[in-house]
Amino acid sequence: METENDTQMYKIFLLGISEESSLQPFLFGLFLFMYLVTVLGNLVIILVTVSDPHLHTPMYFFLSNLSLADIGFTSASISKMLVNIQIHSKVITYEGCITQVFFFILFGVLDSFLLTVMSYDHFVAICHPLYYMVTMNLRVCVLLVLGSWVTAALYSLLESLMTSRLSFCTDLEIQHFLCEINQLILLTCSDTFANDVVMYSAAVLLGCGSFSGILFSYAKIVSSICAISSAQGRCKAFSTCTSHLSVVSLFYFTILDVYFSSSVSQNSPSAARASVMYSIVTPMLNPFIYSLRNKDIAGALRRLSRGKS
């Protein structure tokens, strides 16, 4: 307990994307705009999918949960940064840092799981259309989403508890706009073997597992599409997957670029700027990607604006 109390006496400074004071008003306006667009865009997706009976299907049920996760993911990422810029402070409390770690991991892992579930939904719809309504019934859909939430929450809780046991020898200066677990591990003076084992095991089991599930689903989907005799049928089948493929590519490839790029060190301003892509830009673009050329959502928006069902 003494180590824990000593740890909480140290200050944690989130240095943000840039320390230039002249840039702070611009950064505040830019990220506030991006945050509002993200929240409003995803809220519209949730409102439309919930209110329109025509969209009460597994695909849009998963999409509404993905939109909710994106709102949480972005809120966990930049809300503290916006507050700090506004009050001209870079300090975050130890408890606030651990809380941010919890929610950032929770919604990040949940995003990954939901993208995997959505790829499975596309796989069943295209590869086994005759069994789709039986396979993707309400009970299965609820269990898939509930399992994603529970697993993400349990893993996030585990990582947060293990991070809270770390001790630090000096005040922390984190070259980022949020508390990320890998940066806290880099700055600690505690033994991090257990943290490393959990983090890398989760990266393999949860991260690589989810990505492998997506790759497997789309390998089967591509095989089934190629077997369709008519060109029109192939185009129609592939068009149902383009939005999801775009979101998956944005999410995973930007994360891989941040964590595996040799030019980006883990505790540097360049890492913070690169993290903006997957933590802020991707959740902001998702509603537009899923709405673009989506006749179902476009029709639902028209009916909602006219007050018709």
Give the residue extent of every domain in the chain.
2-306
Q: Which pTM was predicted?
A: 0.89
The burial of 226, by beta-carbon neighbours within 10 Å (0-12 exposed, 13-18 middle, 19 or more buried), is given as: exposed
Question: Tens digits of per-residue pLDDT, 108-152?
Answer: 999 999 999 999 999 999 999 889 999 999 999 999 999 999 999
Question: Tens digits of per-residue pLDDT, 27-38?
Answer: 999 999 999 999
Of all residues in the chain, the percent with pLDDT exceeding 90 is 40
- What's the whole-number average pLDDT of the chain? 86
Question: Tens digits of per-residue pLDDT, 253-299?
Answer: 888 777 665 444 555 667 777 788 888 988 999 888 888 767 888 78
Give residue 17's identity as a one-letter amino acid code: I
- pLDDT score of 309 more than 70: no
- pLDDT score of 239 more than 70: yes
Question: What pairs with residue 173 in β-bridges?
Answer: 13
- pLDDT score of 156 more than 80: yes
Question: Tens digits of per-residue pLDDT, 31-75?
Answer: 999 999 999 999 999 999 998 888 899 999 999 999 999 999 999
- Out of 1.20.1070.10, 3.90.1170.50, 3.65.10.10, 3.20.20.70, the CATH code matching 2-306 is 1.20.1070.10
Say what the pLDDT of residue 9 is. 63
Question: Tens digits of per-residue pLDDT, 81-95?
Answer: 999 999 988 899 888
Closest CA to 221 of 284, 290, 128: 128
> Two tokens at 108?
């990040």
> Two tokens at 242?
């383009």
